[in-house]
Chain A
Amino acid sequence: MAGVAHLMSIIGAGQAGGQTAYSLRAAGFDGAITLIGDEPAPPYQRPPLSKAYLKGEMEAERLYLKPVEYYPEHQVELITGNAVNAIDAAAKRIELERGLAIGWEKLVIATGARPRRLQLPGAALPGVLELRTLADVDKLKAVAVAGKRIVVVGAGYIGLEAAAVSAQLGLVVTVLEAMPQALARVAGPEIGAFYTAVHREAGTDFRLGAKLEGFEGSGQLTGARLAGGEVIPCDIALVGIGVMPNLEIAQAAGLNCGNGIVVDALMRTSHPDIYAIGDVAWRPLLHYRREGRLESVHNAIEGGKIAAASILGGTPHTLEVPWFWSDQFDLKLQTAGLWTGADQRITRGDPQSRGFAVFYLKEGRVIAVDAVNSAPEYLVGRKLVAASAAVAPGELADKSISMKDIGARALG
């Protein structure tokens, strides 16, 4: 490949970093690729960590995105268990925590995000855990056995998935959410209310508007203390209150950063030879005419594909509508689009039946859908969002009109 750089480094060996390497090789790039991760494992899928893996239904090796032999066979130099301390953008080098410095012609930053920590008394006690990495979940798995009491702090997807598995494993579960609604950051009130009810039916003590003041225990966690003095006795506290982008090395290197490393549609940072992708990237959200960070598998894969294509000067990847899923109990939630800014919400189907969907509209156009055990609503919804289609709310709410027909009419 004439005119293309021959020395690529990728910082971060998660789904986005891994995808970049796979896409570069799949496109025929034959230069050097170094993929550096601070975790000991090769690139792996994170979604099952709070689902099947936590439940004990899946061994670690099945999480790997590629078999370990892939890397030597495809001349991808995979460095694990070593962090990058600094990026020297002028000299085009990165410095590793242990050992050498590595030169690059093109650099991809896929450093991801880390769990936000609670700044509360007792937050450092053994027993207060978080869930992001295989190591995190192995720690949780070791103690999450039937009869133990767990307090899940934060009713986001990670917290609720872990709460669902914990209930299924026979733990005594309490969920504490500071907001008056579950899933408030990511879904509308109908979805939040539905999942709150589902967890309560499973026996979970689900507290909304809860004000956590700290953790109790000397040497080991014994309880979570709420405002007003109530202490909820527990053996485990799992904190799932969102993540923060790992952008410090990019900031120190002088790259333009906000709540993420700022990139353009081709994933280029403010430095012409440095790209940023995945959870850490502050990227244009094409379907929404704004920018933002996305924390999802879709975003990791898409970022890797776009970065590889833009480095090689290949055909740009067709942008997908953001998509996401969550498995809790017997329920599969599938989401397309971003609901922020919706001025209308239409529920299709009866939540009591455990199969329903919420369509989010803005100025009469579909901007997102949350579908619970409702694949047709999700799949047609995804197309409606991509086309920014106008659909009559009455039609969306009418189950006697099939999604196929709604799609055909709206999309022509």
Chain B
Amino acid sequence: MPKITYIDASGTERTVEGKNGMTVMETAIKHNVPGIDADCGGACACATCHVYVDAAFTEKVGKPSAMEQSMLDFAENVKENSRLSCQIKIRDDLDGLRVTTPESQH
């Protein structure tokens, strides 16, 4: 099963096992990883599951959809590698994925 590492704003790392088809957001919730609120539960409606994707994975993870891009355009502290983790589905080739959570989701 692909491993995902979550790094919080203070640098603490948590590595958990993900499941193909589940999202990076759901995996965080399932393992009680702090830093991802996901108020809307993954409907791409709230932008409270914002993460920064590690440079080594930005290409593999892919580009956000038009709706997600618009949500990101207006989120706080957005960077080049920002994604909404509810829109990233886990696959085998994302094994080892590292994402950093922002200081606050609101």
Contacts and interface: CB of A to CB of B under 8 A. Distances in A.
Interface of A: 26, 45, 47-48, 51, 62-63, 65-67, 70, 73, 297-298, 301, 318, 320, 323, 325, 327, 332, 334, 373-376, 379-380, 404
Contact of A379 (B26, B31, B40, B70): B70
B97 to A, nearest CB: 20
Chain B interface secondary structure, helix, strand, loop or mixed?
loop
A376 B73 contact: yes
A67 B31 CA distance: 8
B46 interface: yes
A320 B47 CA distance: 14
A380 B74 contact: yes
B106 to A, nearest CB: 7
Contacts, number: 57
A375 B46 CA distance: 10
Interface string B35-74: 0000111011111000000000000000000010011011
A48 to B, nearest CB: 7
Chain B interface residue number, banded = 20 to 34
B41 A379 contact: no
A332 B40 contact: no
A157 to B, nearest CB: 13
Interface in B90-106: 106
Contact of B41 (A47, A380, A404): A47
Contacts of B75: 379
19 contacts: A47-B41, A47-B43, A62-B26, A65-B29, A66-B29, A66-B32, A298-B39, A323-B45, A325-B40, A325-B43, A325-B45, A332-B44, A332-B45, A334-B45, A374-B70, A375-B67, A376-B70, A379-B70, A404-B74
Contacts of B71: 375, 379
Given A375-B74, A379-B70, A67 B32 contact: yes
